[in-house]
Structure 1
Amino acid sequence: MGITKLEKGQFLHKAGQGKVESVEVVIKGSIQISNAYSSINCNVGGFIGIVENPGDPYAYNYEALEETSVYSYPFNSPDDLPKIIKSNPKIAPILAAQSSEIAAKTCAVYEKQYDDALQEYEQIMADYADYPSLCIKVGEIAKSFPELDELIPPEKSEKIPNWVIDFSNSLKENEAVLKKTFYGLNIEFATGMIMTTYTIYKTISDQVLLLNEYRKVLKKKTSSFTSTIKAIKLKLADMERSENEGTEGSVTIVNALNTILVYSGVSGEIATKFEEQISAFKSNNNRYDSSDEARALRRNISTSFYEVFIPAFLRSLTDENIPIEVKMFFMFGFVDEELAGAKNTSILHNMAKAYVPDENGNVLTVYEWLKKIFMLEVEPSKNEFDQDWPSYLREQRSTGAISQDQLEAMQNNPQKRLDFEIHNLFALGNRMTFGRISSFVPVFDEQNVLRPLDMAYQTAAKVNGYYDMIRSIDYGVFCRQALYSNTEIGIPQVYYDDDITPYMILMPNVGSRASLWQEIEGKNRRTKARMLVSIFNTENTEETMIKLFGEFRWEMCKTEQGVHWNDVTDPSLTSMYCDYLQFYKKNSALSTENKEKLRTDLKKFSNNYKNVFIADYLSYIKFESAGSPRLNKVTREILFTFCPFAKAVREKNADNPQYKELFNHYSVRINNAAKPILNIIAKLNKDGIDVPEELTNQIEHLKK
């Protein structure tokens, strides 16, 4: 032990090398203390190695920043530190001042280390959230990175409260005064200050090492994703550069219409007709005007489109290598690169190339939906006269259009089912979701792109996100009441709520509307609803979806109530709402302003009660749930009674006086509903009988 002299750049100790047996005091020059992520400088009077653990390898690097001298002392435990200080009474104030400075520097390092670690985590999660949409832009199929779902953000240690950091910073700010008037008064003051600050930066040093370890693990776990996202971003940058420089880039589609027509195998007459129609359409700058010629051309294109679509679809069922132009035709109605525009063609190409089906099977392109119809996986949808497939066949039989033998042959004939679906849900739904019915044309046209395609594009992830959003507010929106019975274990009958996620069918157009095609399949109330939305939605999609779910609420209630849907003696969402709107003028609970607003709303929606409800439902979900009142007292009570908020929303609005009484009544109602089920579960547990899943699910549902 004694004096050690160091040249500039020379290491006193290196991380991971040598055992900690001494602690040094800088008596000349300065030393940089560093690890992989941070560093601080220690000047004359500073302790070196004080945060290390005696007997362990060094955790930090100690490098001379200039010609430096240090004095070494044996270091077996922190108890050695007071002895070292008291053996140097003359320089004790300098040691104390430097110790308080190091404490402040260590606090700053900890704050920066935490901020950097949090920023790294947030950047990775932001990239992870953007990854699917970036893959779509560059035309790559998104890979799965389940390890990223397990990541958690760094946490600030409870061992370092804010007062510690404030105290250390205050010592640094008042260093000159303390050094002159306090540290020199008594050796015990200096010793106490050094040991206090030692405890602070020893604790912080340990937490910094934990943050370092967190960052190392984070880097290791995300290395595969980081490499992937970096490559995706480079590819996207190259594409944008090519676009800005006016070069073609990597996507080249030429004469797409010919490829589609050849693939479909339609007759030369149909092919020539469709080519001429598309040529005339794209050469007309006023192709959406209301002239007879323009309207006739749009109608003819619609007819020819489906004549080409059907044979192309049938061929694709046995083709594992469908041309990308044909995929774009099926997904987006794309037929011509000039009509779509070069930029849009490139985007559509990449979207089709990157498309991945919904793993839950709830969100489907129209191509995937028609495939399910053809494969007899689902029944064809209702037609414009509200007839399902069996009803339509029976009606055809009763009018003599087909015989009984033909009816039986057609019932499960894939081709007949496909034709029915294409001429009803596809053709009519495509027109409805487009929004401007009189201007509808089923082919992709650049003139209809009113919003960036990547923003308008509805993916399975986006739609499932809207399902999650509505459930987080109106948790019972997709629930149907079902009956469970098992007399063998003593359960005669128990009603429970069955949550059934609807189908969302993505129509191949750039449109502004969504539509509820049917709320159930046939007569079975426990089947999925069928909803339609444009694959490129040009409106506020969140509001569009909320309105769609509101429409489902209304129609599902009508279906469940049957002929009593507007009978106020059988209380339901529709009956109570109809009664409220029909007799609002006599309702004493409504103010004059409320009544005037209702009169205006009814006039605005042409006395259509459903549309008034949908507008109120939008306000209820979007504003009332956030604590911003938009509805009158009567509307609020009806909506909350039949569309109650989820638990998290109720808790957030617990102090809202407009809802407090409603929440209290609801809690009583839920407890009363849960009590008999809990009694059954308790009895089954007592008898050692497995509790049916329906009962446990219902209790979990009621907890929401």
Structure 2
Amino acid sequence: MASVKFTKDQTIYRTGERSSIINIIAEGSVQVKTPFITMTLQKNDILGMFDSQSIYYPFEYTVLEDVTIYQYPYTSISDLAALINNNPTAAGILTSHFAEECATLLDVYSSLYQDCATLYHEANDYYDKYQMFCESYEIEAATLPGIKQLSEYSQDTILEDWLSPYYTDLSDINSANWKTFYSSHPNACAGFIYTASADFMKVLPKCERLYQYIDMLCDLYISDFNLDLYSFYLKLYESLIPNSEWTDLSPIKSTMDTLVRKISKETYFDKTIVNERLKEYQALSSIDASADQSTHQSTSLALKTDIMSELENSIDTILIYAEFDDAASNKFRSLIKQYRELPDRASTDDTTKAIRKDLTNYFYDLYQKAFFKSLTDEAVPVILKMFFYFGYVDEKLIGINHAVELFTMTENIAPDEKHNVFLLYDWLMQIYQGKKEPCINELNVDYTTYLRNLRLSNKITPQQEESAQRNAKMRLQFEFDNMFKLTNKLTQGHISTFCPILSDHNLYKQLRDAYVTAENIHQALDTIRSIDYSAYYRETIFSAPEEGIIKELLQTEVLPDIILMPNIGTRSIMWQEITGKKRTSPARMMLSVLSLEDLYPSMVRLTGEFRWELCRRIQGVRWNDISERSLTSDYCEYIQTYKKNRDLSTDAKDKLKQNLIKARNHSKELFVRDYIDYVMFESNGSIRLNKLARNMLFQYCPFSKEIRLALEANPLYHDIIERYHNKNRANIRTYENMLVRLENNKIKIPEEIKLFRNYLNF
């Protein structure tokens, strides 16, 4: 072993170099920085990745503070095993380091992949809106080179789904536990390190390609050669200003504001170009002035001043209300201040990650304490409602104008009249009051099963199990620890940079445009049900022995429970298709209360996922058994046999192959993609699907009568609609025979059976 010292700012290795030396940091720190990842390596961390004969350095390694490095020779994997055998402590150090490195890179990969999809779809949306504005204002639209030729990012090879959770779990194991096993198994330890290095080098090129693709997408938004979405919108807006007295410019102004916010806050854009180019827009109109004007339209100046006064030091109001102890309160205030002053709150450097992690822990503790305090409060203060509903903590983090607007929005929030859309706070109240059962956890285990498992493992007694079933606080704790914490992170979308506290760096839309209301959700659901009328129906057995009805098979509509999570987010989640074991119980879906994605496509996707998962639930272990026909088994067979299917053209097979790659070879994901096209495009006569996919979707998700009539003349739909009508006529005859039988037996027709006729008439 040799000891070598390097001074601050000295470069130890450059990207792509190799060596025959194992470098372990003894003291000091080394920084690794690329456009998409920044890591700080400290004591006991290792430089580089292992391959069969050398150490490869995928990054440039620069000394952050004077560093001492222990060096060991390496020419083959046997040298690594020998090092571990001679120095058992190294087993824990090496394995812990590589598990954490892989977990960090996989987090980055996940964020890049999601951001890639978001930037691609939003670029197309902005371009479509630009063309729509030009048509509306009767101005010739410019053509943006490359946008229609640029397809959604797809990978040549698929990254296994298990890889990320595998390394995430391994990174939680401390080095002492690694050492316990691997110190006495040096060859196994060397094998793990070699495998982890290979996995790291498998993921890294994917991250680099994703970043390159994102860089291309960024040029479509704003660039230094003025041929981009920003330039197009700017020129259009500028040309319309002289006509502003008789032309409503608010739609394009609102879209322009949203685009500028995205460009300003998204870390992928070149800040030098952005700052210089945005001066052009600032000369035309100030974003802040626009926001002030928007707020002023709904709030008088005097009232706004009162609200601003009430919002001052919001964090203190929340901490005092929750009766947070002094030490924790001071620490939380300090963390909020540090977070607020960060130059980039979405950074992946160690300092920012540590601040976000601590804030997350304090936030959930504070939320729980405040919730229990509110149980005895008949009039919860508006600032606390902002905290409960939106994750609001600090008026400076979200911006005072946004805070004022949020205050007025919160004052006007009313419970959903249809009782199936809930803000998270209201949902937790339903759980506490016993009106709803807790959601399943990430292992698909519900509260009752969880308690039974504890009893079977002798961790609780039967009496404790029975007591826990009725214990409101324990039910709430299960929901809080399992559903709330996980889905809040998932719906926000940026898993590796997650922080539950409301901050303006995540807000790319006007608040009111992002705010998801119960009314918006019901409108989206009604639109979907007007197309796919049977989406939320499921077969049930109706029995009324007292009326003389033993068993009748009916279709019953059960709309999902939708929970709005307190964050600004980019993802919606279909969490569970039923509640407990009862198939007529509602599904549960989660959305961000401030959503950056369009609501209607999100609800269409959730409906597609629900259809798939409900079919899987009904079919059980035979969900993909082609001997028992169902939506899921037919789709699985379709994927497995498409290459030999003569009903598909060569072009259709090639397109399906590409769609499978985009769907990561998941049958469910492919179905959901097809379902979105089916509902949003095929229902309007815009053909997107191949013959087989169209036939399957129409068989299991038939269009409503109005759409069937409109499509009946289309030769692609004529035959399948005719088959549907024949089948439906048979169902109606069966129903009418049932009515005759009941009437002959002088049995009063129950309302449930009468409603079934409505279903048949769809």
TM range (shorter): 0.5 to 0.7
- The answer to whether the 8 A contact 1:382-1:425 is kept is yes
- The answer to whether the 8 A contact 1:239-1:249 is kept is no
Give the letter aligned to residue 566 of structure 1: N
Query: Secondary structure at 1:485's aligned position in 2?
Result: strand
Query: Which stretch shifts more, 596-605 or 546-555?
Result: 596-605
Give the letter aligned to residue 394 of structure 2: D
Q: How far off its partner does 1:556 sit? A: 0.6
Give the letter aligned to residue 361 of structure 1: H
d(CA) in 1 for partners of 2:691, 2:295: 57
Evaluate the alpha carbon distance shift between residue 585 and residue 333 of structure 1 in structure 2; reply closer, same or farther with a 3 A threshold.
same
Q: How does 1:111-260 map to 2 (within 5 A)?
A: 239-240=296-297, 248=305, 251-252=308-309, 253-260=311-318
1:463 is matched with which residue? 521
Q: Could you list the per-position Cα deviations for residues 599-655 of structure 1 after superposition, in whole angstroms to 9, with x for gaps in the alignment?
A: 111112211111111110000000000011000000000000000001111112121
Q: How far off its partner does 1:522 sit? A: 1.1
1:424 is matched with which residue? 482
Give the letter aligned to residue 443 of structure 2: F
- The answer to whether the 8 A contact 2:345-2:505 is kept is no
Q: How does 1:274-673 map to 2 (within 5 A)?
A: 274-486=332-544, 491-673=549-731
Query: Which stretch shifts more, 251-260 or 627-636?
Result: 251-260
Query: Secondary structure at 1:497's aligned position in 2?
Result: strand
Evaluate the alpha carbon distance shift between residue 320 and residue 276 of structure 1 in structure 2; reply closer, same or farther with a 3 A threshold.
same
Q: Could you list the per-position Cα deviations for residues 332-354 of structure 1 after superposition, in whole angstroms to 9, with x for gaps in the alignment?
A: 00000000101110111011100
Q: How far off its partner does 1:288 sit? A: 1.0
1:141 is matched with which residue? none
Give the letter aligned to residue 267 of structure 1: D
- The answer to whether the 8 A contact 1:251-1:349 is kept is no
d(CA) in 2 for partners of 1:601, 1:408: 49
Q: How far off its partner does 1:405 sit? A: 3.3
2:733 is matched with which residue? 675
Q: Does 1:272 align with 2:340?
A: no
Q: Could you list the per-position Cα deviations for residues 237-272 of structure 1 after superposition, in whole angstroms to 9, with x for gaps in the alignment?
A: 882498999985754310000000100012122212
Give the letter aligned to residue 690 of structure 2: N
**Long gaps (5+) in structure 2:** 1-291
Give the letter aligned to residue 655 of structure 1: A
Query: Secondary structure at 2:500's aligned position in 1?
Result: coil
Evaluate the alpha carbon distance shift between residue 640 and residue 447 of structure 1 in structure 2; reply closer, same or farther with a 3 A threshold.
same
Query: Secondary structure at 1:583's aligned position in 2?
Result: helix
d(CA) in 1 for partners of 2:544, 2:506: 56
d(CA) in 2 for partners of 1:454, 1:544: 18
Evaluate the alpha carbon distance shift between residue 537 and residue 247 of structure 1 in structure 2; reply closer, same or farther with a 3 A threshold.
closer
Query: Which stretch shifts more, 578-587 or 672-681?
Result: 672-681
d(CA) in 1 for partners of 2:501, 2:666: 33
d(CA) in 2 for partners of 1:356, 1:246: 21
Give the letter aligned to residue 569 of structure 2: G
d(CA) in 2 for partners of 1:699, 1:418: 41
Q: How far off its partner does 1:539 sit? A: 1.2
- The answer to whether the 8 A contact 1:242-1:248 is kept is no
Query: Secondary structure at 2:337's aligned position in 1?
Result: helix
Q: How far off its partner does 1:593 sit? A: 0.6
2:169 is matched with which residue? none
Give the letter aligned to residue 681 of structure 1: L
TM-score normalized with structure 1 length:
0.64
- The answer to whether the 8 A contact 1:505-1:532 is kept is yes
Give the letter aligned to residue 694 of structure 2: R
d(CA) in 2 for partners of 1:237, 1:389: 46
d(CA) in 2 for partners of 1:246, 1:410: 48
d(CA) in 2 for partners of 1:380, 1:350: 31
d(CA) in 1 for partners of 2:400, 2:376: 31
1:157 is matched with which residue? none
d(CA) in 2 for partners of 1:399, 1:305: 33
d(CA) in 1 for partners of 2:426, 2:530: 28
Give the letter aligned to residue 317 of structure 1: L
Query: Secondary structure at 2:393's aligned position in 1?
Result: coil
d(CA) in 1 for partners of 2:354, 2:452: 34
Evaluate the alpha carbon distance shift between residue 242 and residue 647 of structure 1 in structure 2; reply closer, same or farther with a 3 A threshold.
closer
Evaluate the alpha carbon distance shift between residue 247 and residue 398 of structure 1 in structure 2; reply closer, same or farther with a 3 A threshold.
closer
d(CA) in 2 for partners of 1:658, 1:496: 31
Q: How far off its partner does 1:501 sit? A: 0.7
**Long gaps (5+) in structure 1:** 1-234
Task: State the identity as a percent.
Answer: 38
d(CA) in 1 for partners of 2:439, 2:467: 19
d(CA) in 2 for partners of 1:492, 1:393: 35
Q: What's the RMSD between the two structures over aligned residues? A: 2.1
Q: How far off its partner does 1:397 sit? A: 2.6
Q: How far off its partner does 1:688 sit? A: 5.0
Give the letter aligned to residue 239 of structure 1: H
d(CA) in 2 for partners of 1:403, 1:325: 42
Evaluate the alpha carbon distance shift between residue 270 and residue 400 of structure 1 in structure 2; reply closer, same or farther with a 3 A threshold.
farther
Evaluate the alpha carbon distance shift between residue 654 and residue 244 of structure 1 in structure 2; reply closer, same or farther with a 3 A threshold.
farther
Q: How far off its partner does 1:698 sit? A: 1.0
d(CA) in 1 for partners of 2:539, 2:744: 28
- The answer to whether the 8 A contact 1:242-1:249 is kept is no
d(CA) in 2 for partners of 1:364, 1:358: 7
Evaluate the alpha carbon distance shift between residue 247 and residue 498 of structure 1 in structure 2; reply closer, same or farther with a 3 A threshold.
closer
Q: How far off its partner does 1:496 sit? A: 0.8
Evaluate the alpha carbon distance shift between residue 478 and residue 370 of structure 1 in structure 2; reply closer, same or farther with a 3 A threshold.
same
Evaluate the alpha carbon distance shift between residue 313 and residue 613 of structure 1 in structure 2; reply closer, same or farther with a 3 A threshold.
same
Give the letter aligned to residue 420 of structure 2: N
- The answer to whether the 8 A contact 1:243-1:249 is kept is no
Q: Could you list the per-position Cα deviations for residues 427-455 of structure 1 after superposition, in whole angstroms to 9, with x for gaps in the alignment?
A: 10100110111111111101111111111
Higher Rg of the two aligned structures:
1
d(CA) in 1 for partners of 2:304, 2:414: 29
Evaluate the alpha carbon distance shift between residue 589 and residue 241 of structure 1 in structure 2; reply closer, same or farther with a 3 A threshold.
closer
1:42 is matched with which residue? none
Q: How far off its partner does 1:416 sit? A: 0.9
- The answer to whether the 8 A contact 2:308-2:400 is kept is no
- The answer to whether the 8 A contact 1:625-1:649 is kept is yes
d(CA) in 1 for partners of 2:617, 2:444: 13
- The answer to whether the 8 A contact 1:605-1:611 is kept is yes
Query: Secondary structure at 2:453's aligned position in 1?
Result: helix
d(CA) in 2 for partners of 1:327, 1:338: 18
- The answer to whether the 8 A contact 2:521-2:599 is kept is no
d(CA) in 1 for partners of 2:717, 2:461: 60
Q: How far off its partner does 1:395 sit? A: 2.0
Q: How far off its partner does 1:402 sit? A: 3.0
* Alignment coverage as a number of residue pairs: 470
Q: Does 1:696 align with 2:754?
A: yes
Query: Which stretch shifts more, 362-371 or 271-280?
Result: 271-280
